[in-house]
Amino acid sequence: MGERYLHKPVLPREVMDFLDPAPGKIIIDATIGGGGHAVELAERIAPGGTLIGIDRDSESLKIAHEKLKASKIHINLVNKNFRHIKEITENLRLGEVDGILFDLGISSIQMETAERGFSIKNAGPLDMRMDRNQKLTAKDLVNSSDEEDLALIIRDFGEERFYRRIARAIVSARDKKEIETTDELVEVISRSLPYGRGRQRIHPATRAFQALRISVNDELSAVEEALRDAPGILKKGGRLCVISFHSLEDRIAKNTLKDFRARGILKVFTKKPVIASEAEVSENPRARSAKLRAAEKL
């Protein structure tokens, strides 16, 4: 399985520069995914280092385990939502740590697996759960929510201009037949939008899919909770890095770090978010929308 996904981590050089991993340090990769950043972190904190990898997706953790099994450090992989980062560190009796990385949003592994139901391009069941043990799916949300609730989800989490048209179209379509697959939903959304919308840079269904995914997984609340607890886990001089992929996540990261700076808890290194170079974007298109913010515990 690990060979199938050649996941490239975004902003790898910048993450290493800010986190400053070194032999013997304790680092938490709070969104380890397929282990993209974790492999290099593990190399840099050897010998004597400890890497804690957290992910709510058990399938991603299996891939990360395969990539890291040859590492000569202490590794602990935890199958939980990163919103529980404080509880996780307490249970592991880690004490304060040297660095925490949050690489937010959907992983390449999840996006590339059609049966996970995240992708606009790959037809699959309308799922979108990051944790497959969770009951609520995108299919449930799409077929059970009333029109007003759907409209607000698409507006607030997708920042979609035509949120009411899309919600109306979804309700109309499901009255005839339950919407069960990603390609069915893509067709409903695309047909609901004005002529010419499909010529834009992003796919016309992108924002609505993002909104449903965020709602299904309660992503923004998790980010808020985890970032609120992160400084309390760091030792003095410990570093925090947050990579976001859309404005809602970045706004939370920006405002949270700003608040901690005002309270004298963190020194913020990034007045403006760090973005990928043209060279990195050409090699890894996923990096195009990535924004990195970093800080240090005072």
Does one domain contain both 133 and 281? no
Cα–Cα distance measured from residue 24 to residue 163, given in angstroms and rounded to the nearest whole number: 50
Two structure tokens written together for 254:
């920006």
- 237 lies in the same domain as 100: yes
CATH code for position 19: 3.40.50.150
- The confidence score (pLDDT) of residue 101 equals 98
CATH of the domain at 165: 1.10.150.170
The two three-digit tokens of residue 70, written as one number: 């040859």
**Does 133 lie in the same domain as 69?**
no
Last residue of a domain, one of 216, 238, 258: 216
Per-residue pLDDT of the chain (298 residues; tens, 9 = 90+): 334 445 688 999 999 999 999 999 999 999 998 888 999 999 999 999 999 999 998 888 998 899 998 888 999 999 999 999 999 999 999 899 999 999 997 777 777 777 888 888 888 999 999 998 899 999 999 999 999 999 999 999 999 999 999 999 999 999 999 999 999 999 999 999 886 554 566 788 999 999 999 999 999 999 999 999 999 999 999 999 999 999 999 999 999 999 999 999 999 999 999 999 999 999 988 888 899 999 999 9
Instruction: Say if residue 187 is in the same domain as residue 140.
Output: yes
Q: Are residues 134 and 160 in the same domain?
A: yes
Asked if residue 287 is part of any domain, the answer here is yes
192 and 145, same structural domain? Answer: yes
Q: Looking at the structure, tell me whether residues 226 and 171 fall in a common domain.
A: no
Question: Contact 101/19 with Cβ under 8 angstroms?
Answer: yes
Distance CA 10, CA 1 (A): 21
Asked if residue 227 and residue 190 are part of one domain, the reply reads: no
Residue 209 counted as domain residue: yes
- 180 falls within a domain: yes
Cross-strand pairs, 77:
53
Task: Tell me if 7 is assigned to some domain.
Answer: no
Q: Is residue 65 part of a domain?
A: yes
| End residue of a domain, out of 152, 181, 216 | 216
The whole-model pTM stands at 0.92
- What are residue 232's phi and psi, to 5 degrees? -70, -15
233 touches 260 (CB < 8 A): no
How far apart CA 130 and CA 59 sit, in angstroms, is 10
Residue from 47, 50, 76, 81 nearest 64 by CA:
76
Whether the bond between 47 and the residue before it is cis, its omega within 30 degrees of 0, is yes
C-alpha 287 chain-centroid distance: 13
- Does residue 100 sit in the same domain as residue 133? no
C-alpha distances out from residue 6 to 33, 107, 118, Å: 12, 12, 18
238 in a domain, yes or no?
Answer: yes
Residue numbers of the domain that contains 152: 117-216
Evaluate whether residue 4 is within a structural domain.
no
Which long-range contacts (C-beta less than 8 Å, at least 24 apart) are formed by 223-226?
223/83, 223/102, 223/104, 223/249, 223/252, 223/253, 224/252, 224/256, 225/83, 226/30, 226/82, 226/83, 226/85, 226/102
Looking at the domain assignment, is residue 6 inside a domain?
Answer: no
Retrieve residue 181's tokens.
């697959």
What is the helix (H) or strand (E) element at residue 83, kind and residue range? none
137: Cβ contacts below 8 Å, ≥ 6 apart: 117, 126, 127, 128, 129, 216
Amino acid code (one letter) for 158: G
Q: What is the pLDDT of residue 203?
A: 84
CB–CB of 127/138 below 8 Å? yes
List the one residue out of 236, 74, 208 whose CA is nearest residue 150. 208
On whether both 126 and 212 belong to a single domain, the answer is yes
Number of domains in the chain: 2
Q: Show which of 193, 216, 239 is a domain's final residue.
A: 216
Helix locations, 48-137, DSSP H: 58-68, 85-91, 108-112
Whether 90 and 226 share a structural domain: yes
Interior CA angle at 185 toward 193 and 162, to 5°? Answer: 30
What's phi and psi for 101, nearest 5 deg?
-120, 130
Rounded CA-CA distance 261/75 in Å is 31
> What pLDDT, on the 0 to 100 scale, is given for residue 2?
38
Given its phi and psi angles, is residue 107 left (phi above 0), alpha (psi -120 to 50 degrees) or beta? Answer: beta
Residues 254, 195 within the same domain: no
